[in-house]
Amino acid sequence: MTRGTPPSDWVAYLVVFGTVLAIMYGKYLIGRENKDD
C-alpha cells in the first residue's frame, strides 16, 4: 500500500462503487417486479 494516496481517494472510490451497486440492484428489483406482473 502506498502512503502517498490521500484518505479521500478510497472514500471516493467507495462512493462510486456503492452508487453503481445501488443502481444495478435497483434495476434488478424493477426487472423482477415487471416479471411478476
CA angle 20, 25, 29 (to 5 degrees): 150
Higher model confidence: residue 4 or residue 18?
Answer: 18
Give residue 22's pLDDT: 98
Q: 9 or 27: which carries more pLDDT confidence? A: 27
Assess whether pLDDT exceeds 70 at residue 5.
no
Rg of the chain on CA atoms, in Å: 16
pLDDT tier at 36, thresholds 50, 70, 90: low
pLDDT band at residue 18, thresholds of 50, 70 and 90? very high
Cα 17 to Cα 6: distance, rounded to the nearest angstrom? 18
Q: Higher-confidence residue: 21 or 35? A: 21
